[in-house]
Structure 1
């Protein structure tokens, strides 16, 4: 943005020449105003205030001066909000670091309760929950594909006071503040229905409020003390341009995979990406308002004195601005969900290319925007080049396995782990050779597929156990469901090859779900389809954490925290993504595994009812803390989220995290 002295001098000189001289010297003044710098414009307000016809320009000058002072507070507001979210996040994390809570002990024996209704399971699917008593997996369970039966048995732990029939009654809460807190959290957690007609999936109420707060700040900074009239169009156009460039660093921070906001606030990349998209849409609107305002300035001020539209649009500063506008509007159009999901490769190339073009055009559009453009470009280059191309990039030879369903490829590779320089990963992040944690993902590049795939990187969650401290190597598996584009090409390649050289950029991701489950007495992880890539390493990590924190668990699995995995598959062959050996290891370790009958032949199971059975049994004689993590299609995620919201409102101590595995 230009300095206040420059802007005011140019504007006053420009307005005075229009009113005093008509169109005689307008051409020279406009040419000068479009190219002048601070050193060139030595005309002060005192030099031009002697003209008696400058009252209109004085109003515009005051508006511009205020806008330039006012916009400086925008960064301060953002920093203050970041500080508040940081304090809240780290306060919660410090509380969680206290000695682990003793798991709720449910005294008494274990017996089988026969339900006379189907309130806890899906009778249409013919599901039967049965305790697996074979071998060392006495505490694990599975859904068996038996013939449909209206009666279903559930193994629950009971005391002498346990009623004969289960009743979904919430535990008693005496604290008014606690009830108010749970009601509020329930409302924020709830996810509304999809918007009809346009089929737009809405986020949770909490995310929506966060987005609305961000939008509210933008509206405030646009319209605060902004006189809405034709003579002040230039002030409105100027204010929107100031806010646009002030948002550039924040826009690129939200989009960066390596950035401090996630570390400070604990917000996941997925949430920050939502904020990135909404802020980008607002900025596109700001650019349109700025352009429309400048056209209005031409129409109301320049056109009456004979300055043509073509001459105005072909001026250097205007032409560069229009180029930047077109670039950002194209970014918006190519980022729409329908195009992004159908042509992800095209979206990726255009998104990066248009971003660079837009920044270059903004740099030359006006020298006042260069500090913000420079910061945004630095964020982009540091994220893309320093981190993703240097610190986090690894190459590896992976084996290729086409699973039984003939539509999925599993990539497996052994990663030698580096034991030294562990602080590098802690401070600035590092590649997979420094290890990874559950739920993290990598960007996969397979140059052997074709030339176009040499520069493409696609995100996939690491579907294997996270390495533990002291491990010398770890197995890294990726599950790739074949669709169009990259995944389809990879499947065709895998049918003729057993291995391929790949590039792995990462790991990235949030550990919010893992941290939450580690503090729970009952941990339920729900996966839909390829969401097992998130669920598998998560249940292993949670189970390992519980085993380390409570030595009694190693002696008696039934008396400690419980870890349950519910995996909904479309076809029986999809279980081959893990294999029978992996599933058996889960059960032998004490993790309860539930795999309902395939949805292709039995319909969708009532997942919330399955969760309810564990919630009710866990809280029968104690106030157990429960955590649910779900990774699946949007419909399943919403159903699980809203179920947990309703139970939270009823007084249960339950938390939920949604790990969305689609981009």
Structure 2
């Protein structure tokens, strides 16, 4: 008897997990408790052996439900309770509950008083009952406690899931407020004068209000304490045991997220002996933990997808980098995967405890069951393969695996929770929507960047790419024409669609750009060949030269240049292609390929709002710095006040292992900038074949020659320990006077920053420091800036890095 009752009551709990998981209100719990008790009893007649049909259409059972409910439930709970029971009957039995009016004759006080009262231990319980029954108060109380506990947990699980949205909503709100404060400070920092000659004058600058000063002071303190320092100095850009170390504020957010998820998965479980669904405490706790972990994991999924997308409105609203969003994405994914594993392990233990191994293995015949395991395995592989070691070594394979397994995951999750009749779809359809929206915008960006109509001739043009490889500099240059206006702080994704792996896309920082002008090809020909004059053309034709690989561009277009140091995969493929076509003279040759642009992405840092700017680049990190130098030049030449700059002095520190690359950029893309009075520079070469690294001291910023390099070298002796590199040949081949001093050692980054910060403090200037380069160099710059900021409030730090 006891065994049979236990089986029937276990069935009640089991079936609630297979669909009847609707969260009911408090006034429906009493009737639901009666429903749970009577559902485990066997009555003759309709629905014998059919759980839902019996309790909904068997007159004996239905009368028993009505009679017990009227005996123990308050009159206020009867209506809502029977309404819920009727819904369950229609949902799962295909027929409604027999109306009370149809059996009213059996529900009078006299009739109810004649029904036998059953106890849990009564020997009559397992028999096929032939009359309506009541149950003892103790049995009802136990049933009500069982139902109340189940409903409590059922309400709590999704509530804790919503807590994830509250947490991240608050974080994003803080980010948007920070963005707003930054915008206010920047808008009050622009110069009053529109005369470029007055930009350096103290009286030409707008005086900040008291409110702006307060905001700036508060913002500076936050950056000093939280934003700039690493969570585990000196590591940030550098990996520690293969792991990325976030900044202090990012670390606080991540740790808080982990703690919140852990705590919410561990609290408020109400297990008790004698529960009518599972009498032992252990299966109850395992069931509740498994459900909680699974639901919070589902709640984390839309957040995980939202933080992964490139086309994310929150990136613009917060001003955070894609690297920050991607960092949060990875940690949410790890949390959700751990919760999925707990969910799977917990249900395994649960089924083994209530049904044994045989019952557990029987579940594997159901698609919803084994696809839940598929989803957990897919998430685990996704997280494991996304660790830095894999991403950096097999990025292309990682990307393809990531996409395929994500599709498998979404499909598996839809099947896994299909038994709940769409209750979990609000967690899953946002994944499809977010992903589809992001992919759609990617396609739109690709089309917009690469195909455009020339208004004057009403003709359709597409972008073309010219690629060259400089062996001496070990740099690939890709030039692509587009009509989309470029700017500093931007990066693009490049596709080579006609490769076998044409879906691959590679993030690259925009290094340089120029705008085409209307040229007369026939006029050029006339000047060279002395032929007859010709009419004007609207296409400028340029050919490859030592100035770099260029190609035909249309009037008003921009020519974007990307500099890439080849490693493995796609970049090695490009290098090999160039080498195959390269002549024996080793002069860079140009190959033409179809390469598509997607972008631009990224947000420009407000360097133009500072008085002094120090740019620190290492290796190909110069690609992030040149656009800001170009932007500075453009702003100083602008008559539009909103496009002007406060910068009085800009210093570039660049370290590179290849001297040829330094020479190439200095005499081409940076040639005009290096002649300006407001631009200073230090170039360092760390080629181990030429110099023992660190063998020579780094000169101070004050020793850098400006304008007349030869005169500065003679008077200050800055060329001691340096190699003079002739930059007399500019991009167009014209002779220019001057020389380029290159120091054959690594720079002392902390000393340079310390001196620059002290100088800015002494002159009352605001100093912006930006770094981009190898992890060790960027971390040294970050730590040195942090030390400077602790002493002065006039220094800000920015770092150009791309995380994926």
What range describes the TM-score normalised by the shorter chain of this pair? Answer: 0.7 to 0.9
Cα deviation for residue 16 of structure 1 reads: 6.0
How far apart are the structure 1 equivalents of 2:492 and 2:89?
47
Aligned match of 2:335: 282
How far apart are the structure 2 equivalents of 1:435 and 1:641?
31
Matched, 1:499 2:587: no
| 1:73-117: CA deviation from partner (whole Å, max 9, x where unpaired) | 54345434433432332232133223615767599xxxxxxxxxx
CA contact (8 A) 1:524 1:564 kept: yes
1:316/1:222 Cα in 2 relative to 1: closer, same or farther (>3 Å)? same
Aligned match of 1:429: none
CA contact (8 A) 1:411 1:479 kept: yes
1:233/1:18 Cα in 2 relative to 1: closer, same or farther (>3 Å)? farther
TM-score normalized by the length of structure 1: 0.75
Cα deviation for residue 577 of structure 1 reads: 5.6
Counterpart of 2:92 (choices 37, 40, 61) is 40
Cα deviation for residue 208 of structure 1 reads: 0.9
Cα deviation for residue 357 of structure 1 reads: 1.0
How far apart are the structure 1 equivalents of 2:486 and 2:172?
27
How far apart are the structure 2 equivalents of 1:27 and 1:292?
32
How far apart are the structure 1 equivalents of 2:133 and 2:435?
44
Matches within 5 A, 1:169-568: 185-188=223-226, 189-191=228-230, 192-194=233-235, 198-227=241-270, 230=282, 231-303=284-356, 307-366=358-417, 367-384=422-439, 386-393=440-447, 394-395=449-450, 396-405=463-472, 407-415=474-482, 417=483, 434-448=484-498, 450-452=499-501, 454-465=502-513, 472-497=556-581, 498-511=591-604, 513=605, 515=606, 517-546=607-636, 548=638, 561-568=648-655
How far apart are the structure 2 equivalents of 1:211 and 1:290?
22
1:542/1:218 Cα in 2 relative to 1: closer, same or farther (>3 Å)? farther
CA contact (8 A) 1:187 1:645 kept: no
Counterpart of 1:75 (choices 144, 152, 165) is 165
Matches within 5 A, 1:69-218: 69-72=159-162, 74-98=164-188, 100-101=190-191, 185-188=223-226, 189-191=228-230, 192-194=233-235, 198-218=241-261
How far apart are the structure 1 equivalents of 2:49 and 2:681?
78
SS in 2 for 1:255: coil
| 1:189-222: CA deviation from partner (whole Å, max 9, x where unpaired) | 2221349982534122122112223323323433
How far apart are the structure 2 equivalents of 1:534 and 1:4?
57
How far apart are the structure 1 equivalents of 2:18 and 2:787?
54
SS in 1 for 2:348: helix
Aligned match of 1:618: 760
CA contact (8 A) 1:531 1:661 kept: no
Counterpart of 2:680 (choices 592, 598, 620) is 592
| 1:521-580: CA deviation from partner (whole Å, max 9, x where unpaired) | 0111111111111111022213433554899x99xx9x9611111111012122256251
Aligned match of 1:144: none
User: For structure 1, which runs of at least 5 residues remain unmatched after alignment?
Assistant: 108-174, 418-433
User: For structure 2, which runs of at least 5 residues remain unmatched after alignment?
Assistant: 1-16, 55-87, 101-131, 193-198, 204-212, 272-280, 451-462, 519-554, 582-590, 694-745
Aligned length: 558
How far apart are the structure 2 equivalents of 1:322 and 1:38?
31
1:15/1:337 Cα in 2 relative to 1: closer, same or farther (>3 Å)? farther
How far apart are the structure 1 equivalents of 2:358 and 2:40?
14
Cα deviation for residue 520 of structure 1 reads: 0.6
1:48/1:336 Cα in 2 relative to 1: closer, same or farther (>3 Å)? farther
Aligned match of 1:60: 150
How far apart are the structure 2 equivalents of 1:26 and 1:441?
69
RMSD between aligned residues: 4.0
CA contact (8 A) 1:85 1:265 kept: yes
Mean CA deviation greater in 63-72 or 343-352: 63-72
Aligned match of 1:129: none
SS in 1 for 2:92: coil
| 1:121-180: CA deviation from partner (whole Å, max 9, x where unpaired) | xxxxxxxxxxxxxxxxxxxxxxxxxxxxxxxxxxxxxxxxxxxxxxxxxxxxxx999989
SS in 2 for 1:235: helix
Higher relative contact order (CA 8 A, sep 6+): 1
SS in 1 for 2:173: helix
CA contact (8 A) 1:441 1:462 kept: yes
How far apart are the structure 2 equivalents of 1:196 and 1:271?
16
How far apart are the structure 1 equivalents of 2:770 and 2:300?
33
1:481/1:178 Cα in 2 relative to 1: closer, same or farther (>3 Å)? closer
1:17/1:639 Cα in 2 relative to 1: closer, same or farther (>3 Å)? farther
CA contact (8 A) 2:322 2:802 kept: no
Cα deviation for residue 606 of structure 1 reads: 1.3
SS in 2 for 1:308: helix
Q: Work out which of the two has the higher radius of gyration on C-alpha atoms and give 1 or 2.
A: 2
How far apart are the structure 2 equivalents of 1:637 and 1:180?
26
How far apart are the structure 2 equivalents of 1:660 and 1:99?
26
| 1:28-86: CA deviation from partner (whole Å, max 9, x where unpaired) | 879x9xxx998227899x99996645344542332112323453454345434433432
CA contact (8 A) 1:104 1:624 kept: no
Mean CA deviation greater in 184-193 or 498-507: 184-193
SS in 2 for 1:495: helix
CA contact (8 A) 1:182 1:649 kept: no
1:464/1:447 Cα in 2 relative to 1: closer, same or farther (>3 Å)? same
TM-score normalized by the length of structure 2: 0.62
How far apart are the structure 1 equivalents of 2:375 and 2:346?
16
1:643/1:466 Cα in 2 relative to 1: closer, same or farther (>3 Å)? farther
CA contact (8 A) 1:599 1:605 kept: no
CA contact (8 A) 1:18 1:26 kept: no
SS in 1 for 2:564: strand
Matched, 1:642 2:642: no
| 1:283-321: CA deviation from partner (whole Å, max 9, x where unpaired) | 111111111221122122222xx7522113333221111
CA contact (8 A) 1:186 1:646 kept: no
SS in 2 for 1:368: coil
How far apart are the structure 1 equivalents of 2:412 and 2:652?
51
SS in 2 for 1:244: helix
1:15/1:605 Cα in 2 relative to 1: closer, same or farther (>3 Å)? farther
Matched, 1:575 2:623: no
CA contact (8 A) 2:160 2:296 kept: no
Aligned match of 1:121: none
Mean CA deviation greater in 492-501 or 270-279: 492-501
| 1:423-468: CA deviation from partner (whole Å, max 9, x where unpaired) | xxxxxxxxxxx323212111111235x412x111111111114879
1:616/1:87 Cα in 2 relative to 1: closer, same or farther (>3 Å)? closer
SS in 2 for 1:566: strand
How far apart are the structure 2 equivalents of 1:265 and 1:487?
33
Aligned match of 2:801: 660
